[in-house]
Structure 1
Amino acid sequence: MKIVPLYAVPQHEQQITDWLWQAFGTSDSRDFFASIVATRQREEKMPLTFAAVEGEKLVGTVGLWRCDLISRQDLYPWLAALYIDENQRGQGLGEKLQQHVIEYARGLGYPQLYLYSACKGYYERFGWQYIGDGLDYPNTPVHLYQFTL
């Protein structure tokens, strides 16, 4: 398994769009997620989407974005849109994708990284520190996390 920028494997753009739309979107938001994925394919520039691939098969994705929570634009950059193919879950791929983004952000010189999640308990296992709650649009409570690089 290798983790590469999506621009290196553009054939997976549609699958990543569908994953993100189905996991995080609403019935009428596919075009919105297609736009998100398309704008995260610029070589060596943030925001970036990474793809985890085994051979030719896409098994997961994660992003490094300037902003993932509109109500907290004061925090950046963000680990965003972590998604693992259902058949690949429970094998440590989530941790590998997190670590890839952590190392990439560290290499860019950022002192910390942020993420938000509706669930609690998962990210703490990997060293993320809970820093409080926030709101996702329009009024969904979420948990905020920071990782010191």
Structure 2
Amino acid sequence: MKIEPLYVVPQHEQQVTDWLWQAFGTPNSRDFFASIVATSQREGEMPLTFVAVEGAKLVGTVGLWRCDLISRQDLFPWLAALYIDEKQRGRGLGAKLQQHVIEHARELGYPQLHLYSACKDYYERFGWQYIGDGLDYPNKPVHLYRFTL
């Protein structure tokens, strides 16, 4: 398995868009996710999308974004949109994609990384510290995490 920026393998753009839309979106939000993916493919800039590929097959994706939770724009940057193909889950790919973004953010000189999740107890296993709750739009409670780099 290889993890690379999506701009290196742009043929996976539509699949990443569909995964994010289906996992995190609403019926009418595909264009929104297509816009996120399209603007996260510029070398040396954020937001940035990474993909995990095995041969020619896409198996997962994750982002390094400026902001992932509009109600908490004071936190920066974010590990965002972690998604593993359903058939590939249980193989440790989520941990590998997290680690890749952590290392990339560290190389860029950021002191910490943030994420939010509706789930609790998953990210703590990888060293993320729960820092409180927040609200996703319009009023969905979420858990906030920080990883000190």
Per-residue deviation at 1:58?
0.2
Rounded Cα–Cα distance in structure 1 between residues aligned with 2:124 and 2:43: 31
Identity of aligned residues (%): 87
Rounded Cα–Cα distance in structure 2 between residues aligned with 1:39 and 1:45: 10
Tell me the SS of whatever aligns to 1:33: helix
Match of 2:13 in 1: 13
The question of 1:71 aligning with 2:71 is answered: yes
Per-residue deviation at 1:142?
0.2
Aligned residues: 149
Question: Is there any run of 5+ residues in structure 2 with no aligned partner, and where?
Answer: none
Match of 1:84 in 2: 84
> Structure 1-normalised TM-score?
0.99
Rounded Cα–Cα distance in structure 2 between residues aligned with 1:87 and 1:44: 31
Tell me the SS of whatever aligns to 2:12: helix
> Structure 2-normalised TM-score?
0.99
The letter for the 1-side match of 2:130 is: Y
Q: Deviations over 1:31-74 (max 9, x none)?
A: 00000000000012111000100000000000000000000000
Match of 1:126 in 2: 126
RMSD between aligned residues: 0.3
